[in-house]
Amino acid sequence: MQAFLRTLQAERGASAYTLRAYRQDAGDFLEFLAAEGITRWHQVDVACARRYLVRLAGSRSRATVARRLSSLRHLFRYLVRTGRLPGNPFRGLRAPRGGRRLPRSLTPAQVRALIQAPKASTALGLRDRALLELLYGSGMRVQEALSLRVADLGPGRELRVVGKGNRERVVLLPRATRAALDAYVQRGRPRLAAPGVEALFVNHRGRPLSPRGAQLVVRRYARTVLGGVRVTPHTFRHTFATHLLDGGADLRSVQELLGHRSLQTTQIYTHTSRARLKEVYDRAHPRA
């Protein structure tokens, strides 16, 4: 397993988050094999692989089953390539069919309420507003935002980030986002950061803010101003894409800004925009 994870990191530039997901997916499968009394790789055949997926489909979402299947395909492809197995038992298997869940997004009013919730009179409030502005204004993944250093902020409204697979792209910063970042760097961060810490976003102890910490920040403000609406850092990324398409942006531009390798991944947001259009139509048209 360690050799497999090292290969993923070296050949595909997998992030620590991706490696952790592969380790968890493989670990769950190894527990299943132990329960089945299987102790050698060559004992895993197609029937065994199918039993695992059937069991998984009974308790997990389609997205989880598909991700586990992809992880195990990669693992067994590595085992075949390194001579441990003659064939990949997961190669011909497919995840169960089902409707793809549309990503949840916020309304412009909800976004404004969230961004205005942090108190600009405190260092943590300045940090939180800058983080929320950045997530919504740029569409960055939370890990990309938390990987930024102070030195990465240039004078303009463009920012270079390294995303999945170590792919670099340029994101654009709205004026409000740039202003919130400047306020945080000038008045908030100096009161928080511990000596020698280069990370742009830091926690109350002065150390780099973690993804879990960012999630708690978003959840706290969502609970305060939006009540029962569930919001995560990734919700801002979905909202960013949806609002761009609602505003007339073309799909290719949104793909570039999100850093998606495939246009097909970005197309899910066209369904979201279409669903919103139907809601407006049903609500506004007298004969709808």
pLDDT at residue 87, as a whole number: 92
Active-site annotation holds for 164? yes
pLDDT digits (tens, 9 = 90+) for 9-52: 888 777 887 888 899 999 999 999 999 999 999 899 999 999 99
Q: Of the residues 74, 178, 237, 238, which is catalytic?
A: 237
Helix (H, G, I), strand (E, B) or coil at 172: strand
Cα 145-136-117 angle, rounded to 5 deg:
100
pLDDT at residue 277, as a whole number: 62
Active-site annotation holds for 260? yes
Mean pLDDT, 10 residues at a time, over the chain (288 residues)? 88 82 92 93 92 86 86 93 91 69 82 95 97 95 94 89 81 94 97 96 96 95 90 93 86 85 74 64 66
pLDDT digits (tens, 9 = 90+) for 220-247: 999 999 987 899 999 999 999 889 888 8
pLDDT at residue 280, as a whole number: 61
**Domains of the chain in sequence order:** 2-81 (1.10.150), 108-283 (1.10.443.10)
pLDDT at residue 72, as a whole number: 93
Active-site annotation holds for 22? no
Q: Residue 250 corresponds to which amino acid?
A: D
Flag whether the pTM goes above 0.85: no
Active-site annotation holds for 278? no
pLDDT at residue 197, as a whole number: 96
With beta carbons less than 8 A apart as the criterion, state whether 248 and 162 touch.
no
Active-site annotation holds for 141? yes
Active-site annotation holds for 271? no
Q: Of the residues 50, 77, 164, 187, which is catalytic?
A: 164
Q: Of the residues 141, 189, 238, 243, which is catalytic?
A: 141
With beta carbons less than 8 A apart as the criterion, state whether 71 and 22 touch.
yes
